[in-house]
Amino acid sequence: MACLTPLGLAGLVSGDWGEVAQLASLVPTVLLGFVALSLLEGWGERLPRGRPAQRIGVLVGIALVATLAIPALIAQAAYLEGWTSGGGLGQVQRALVHVLSPPALLAFALFMGTPAALVALPRIRRDPEPSATVIALALLLSIPLLFLQEPCAYPIPAVLVGGWTLLYAVADGVEAFFFSPFEARAGELNQRVQRGDLELEAVELAARLGDGGAWRALRLPAETPPTPEEFAARLQGRELIGRASLLLAQLALPSARNSSQVRQALRTLAQYFQNPSPERFVELRDLWEQTPWVPSPEGSSSQRTLHFALSIALAPADAGQEVLQRSIQSAVSAALESSSPEELVSALREPLVAWLLDGRDPLGADI
C-alpha cells in the first residue's frame, strides 16, 4: 500500500529516471520499518520493571522486524521491476524463493535481526551506560573473527552494531523533537524525586491523570486523553477526590440560581478540605440541613455538583474508595450538563497536578 503513489510515478518515466522512481518507492517501506523498530524499542524501554517476559517479547519482535525488512524490500523491488518490465508476479515469486530460503533467512537473522536486538537490549534494560555496553558487545563479537586471518572481516561487528546504534539514536532524536516540551519538566521532577523533595507516588498519580512531564519522567508511553469518567476513576484518596469535587462545583457555578449562596457554601467546603476540624464539620452539617441540596436527577448542575461535594466532605472517616467514587462520578455526570468533556478534564487536571507536584493548592484561589 505504501508504494502505490510512487508506482504511479514510476509508470510516467522511463530509463534512468524510472530506476530512480523505483528506488524512491522503497523509501516508505524503509520508513515503515524504522518506525516499527523505534516503537518497539521505545515501548520496551518504558516497560515497568519486573516484566522480563514482555522485554524478551520486545527483543524477539525487534529481531523479526529487522530480519524481515530486507526480504520485504527485495520482494517490493522485484514487484516494481516486474511491473515496469512485464515480468509480473512470477518475478516476485522467483525473488521470494531466494530470499525466504532457510540459508538466506539465517543470514538476514545473523546480520540484521540479531544485531538489532543486541543493541536494543541494554537500552531496554535501562543500563546506565548503554553505549559502553554496545562497544563492549562489538569487541566481543569481533573476537571469533581473529581466527579467520582476514583483517577486512574485523570491522564487520562494529559496523553492524554501530549502524543499529545510530538508527536508535536517530529515533531518540525524533522522539525528543516531538516530546521536547516535556523533557525539561521531566528532568526537574526526576531530580526532585532523587533529592527526596517529591514522592514518586505523586509523580505516578500525576502521570495517571495525564500530565506530560510526569509520564515522560517515568518513561511511559503517551496515551489517548481519558474521558471525564475515566479521569475521575483515577483519583485516589479523600483529599484529592474532595478537591476534585469542589473544582466541579466551581465549574458548574454559572448554572446556579443563587450564585452568592453557592459561593459561600464553596468557601466553607474549601476551608474544611484545607483544614478539617470538628468545628468546620459542624458548619457543613448545618449547611446541609439548612439548604435544600437536591441530589440527582433533580436540580441544576450547580446544585447537584455541590450536593455531591458536600456528601464527600461529610462521608465517614472510614468510608472506602467505592463510596467516594460513587459521589465523584455522580458529580462528573452533573457537571457535564453545563460543560464539555474537554473543558471538564482540563479544569480538573491542571489544578490537581499542580497540587500533587508543586504543592499549589487549588482551594487557595478566590472562589
Give the tens place of pLDDT for each residue, 159-171: 888 788 888 878 7
**Which of these ranges, 38-42, 179-183, 354-358, has the smallest mean pLDDT?**
179-183
pLDDT digits (tens, 9 = 90+) for 105-133: 888 888 888 888 888 888 787 776 777 78
Phi/psi zone of residue 50: left (φ > 0), alpha (ψ -120 to 50 degrees), beta? Answer: left
Percent of the chain with pLDDT over 70: 80
- At residue 349 the predicted structure's pLDDT band, cuts being 50, 70 and 90, is very high
pLDDT digits (tens, 9 = 90+) for 53-109: 888 898 899 999 988 888 888 777 777 666 656 555 666 667 666 677 788 888 888
In this prediction, residues 191-214 reach a mean pLDDT of 89
In this prediction, residues 320-329 reach a mean pLDDT of 91
pLDDT digits (tens, 9 = 90+) for 1-60: 334 444 444 444 444 555 666 677 778 888 888 888 888 887 777 666 567 888 889 889
**Confidence (pLDDT) at 122:** 82
**Confidence (pLDDT) at 167:** 81
Long-range CB contacts (within 8 A, 24+) of 70-76: 70/99, 70/108, 70/112, 71/96, 71/99, 71/100, 71/104, 71/105, 71/108, 72/29, 72/33, 73/26, 73/29, 73/30, 74/99, 75/99, 76/3, 76/25, 76/26, 76/29
Tell me whether residue 46 is exposed, middle or buried, using C-beta atoms within 10 angstroms of its C-beta: 0 to 12, 13 to 18, 19 or more: middle
Whole-model pTM: value is 0.55
What does pLDDT average to over the chain? 80
**Confidence (pLDDT) at 11:** 43
**Confidence (pLDDT) at 12:** 41
